[in-house]
Amino acid sequence: MKNVALHNLGCKVNAYEMDFIQQNLLKKGYNVVPFDEYADIYIVNTCTVTNIADRKSRQMLHRCKQLNPKAVVVALGCYVQTDSKGVIGDPDIDIAIGNNNKSKAVEIIEEYLAGETAKKVDCIIDINDVKNPCPYESMSIEKTIEHSRAYIKIQDGCNQFCTYCIIPYARGRVRSRRQEEILEEVRTLSSNGYKEVVLTGIHIGSYGMDFKDGSDLMSLLEEIDKVPGIERVRISSLEPGTMTKEFIERLKNLKKICQHFHLSLQSGCDSVLKRMNRKYKTADFTASVENLRKAFDRPAITTDVIAGFPGETEAEFEETADFIRKIGFYEIHLFPYSRRHGTVADKMEGQLTRKEKTDRVKKLSEIEREMTRAYEESFIGEKVSVLFEEPREIKGQSYMIGHTDRYLTVALKSDEDLKNIIKEVKLSGFLADGIMAGEEA
Ligand code: SF4
């Protein structure tokens, strides 16, 4: 059987789609080999979120023919979608498959290998055709390749059009996955031993807006909460528009929901949020966090922030820094603003220099470090449940590493294989930066 090498770039949705392709390849008997090895087929699942992501996608695609000049090179996904001409014209790429066609990737490759298709295969649809909107592309996984928790895709596309983001043009408009199909996948994952599922998508707050039967994100969460065997449900990312008082009232009744809420902020300054075309103000964000803190015991609030958005003045940046301190996040994914051609923000006046942006990221990461430590310290001496994931050697000793439902990383000294077991431990302090020490409870 042929050897296939896979490389995934970008987000958890891309990773889910690649897991699906890998699952299909394995079922058909292909050997999956590491990407830097000699293979007959190379598949690169590309990303286009920034100019750098485009460059990385091209680099990975061009590496394939260097590893085996006779290999079949398959380009998939977002970069293919936004630079279709470049990909189709690239002599190093044999098959180009855009978004909403990934579920057919293995069949397309096999037709190509059998000589049933043209020399160059182009499977790129117009994902932005509003007159003929594409349906949700059905895929389902039974196992995940690398994680002990399973990421489940529940939705695709985005209608928000933030000024810095190209994703709506690469992924198209919102389309949600049928609730029954998601529940079926959750049941399968549960019967395969998974205890935690993470709901993911491009803009999961929009889940269900394209349905006419009234099913929405909350009704989906309420159904997943009933699936036997699943003990934790995590939501990958939401915004204040979804995290309303009413939503939180129902959220707190769910037995399995993790007390870890990722609320995307991007900026803590209203004028910058407006230029970003984000659909909330800092006051809405504060209200969501306050309501979550009333409903849950010290929930972990995490977020994303972009530093150095075009035109961000020193005063606007300081507003963001103050807002971050005021909220008290557990963790922040900090990004220097990265230009992406084709977006509104790329053409804005007042682009900051690389140094200005990285200096701002540095300042925010110092604030973040203190907040993270303070949050973690507040749990020392308490008993917590940990889902163990992998063994790790730390300072010459064997530990099992896992996460609490608030996503604290915990290490427990153990020679036993506790992988995929949820166990109560007592937190006694820190073992290393970002790793808390657990003791048998
Ligand atoms: S919400 Fe904004 S940042 Fe997120 S995918 Fe949609 S357009 Fe991009």
Using one digit for the tens of pLDDT, what is the confidence trace for 222-279?
999 999 999 999 999 999 999 999 999 999 999 999 999 999 999 999 999 999 999 9
State residue 146's pLDDT score. Answer: 60
pLDDT band at 129 (very low <50, low <70, confident <90, very high): confident
276 Cβ below 6 A of ligand 1: no
pLDDT at 127 over 90: no
Q: What is the mean pLDDT of the chain?
A: 95
Rounded CA separation 99/97 (Å): 7
Q: How far is the CA of 168 from the centre of ligand 1 (A)?
A: 7
Task: Check if the beta carbon of residue 320 is closer than 8 Å to that of residue 305.
Answer: yes
Closest atom of ligand 1 to CA, residue 161: 7
Closest atom of ligand 1 to CA, residue 166: 8
pLDDT band at 120 (very low <50, low <70, confident <90, very high): confident
- 200, β-bridge pairs: 153
Q: How far is the CA of 62 from the centre of ligand 1 (A)?
A: 29
pLDDT at 126 over 90: no
State residue 145's pLDDT score. Answer: 67
Nearest Cα residue to atom 1 of ligand 1: 160
97 Cβ below 6 A of ligand 1: no
Collapse the DSSP code of 432 into the 3-class scheme (helix H, G, I; strand E, B; otherwise coil) and give the result.
strand
Burial class from Cβ neighbours inside 10 Å (0-12, 13-18, 19+) for residue 246 reads exposed
Q: Per this entry, what is the length of the chain?
A: 441
pLDDT at 130 over 80: no
pLDDT band at 368 (very low <50, low <70, confident <90, very high): very high
Closest atom of ligand 1 to CA, residue 239: 1
Q: Nearest-CA neighbor of 256 among 155, 148, 405?
A: 405
Can you identify the CATH homologous superfamily of domain 3-123? Methylthiotransferase, N-terminal domain (3.40.50.12160)
pLDDT at 72 over 80: yes
Q: What's the rounded mean pLDDT across residues 88-94?
A: 95
Closest atom of ligand 1 to CA, residue 277: 2
Rounded CA separation 171/167 (Å): 6
State residue 415's pLDDT score. Answer: 84
| CATH class for the domain made up of 150-377 | alpha beta
Q: What's the rounded mean pLDDT across residues 345-369?
A: 98
265 Cβ below 6 A of ligand 1: no
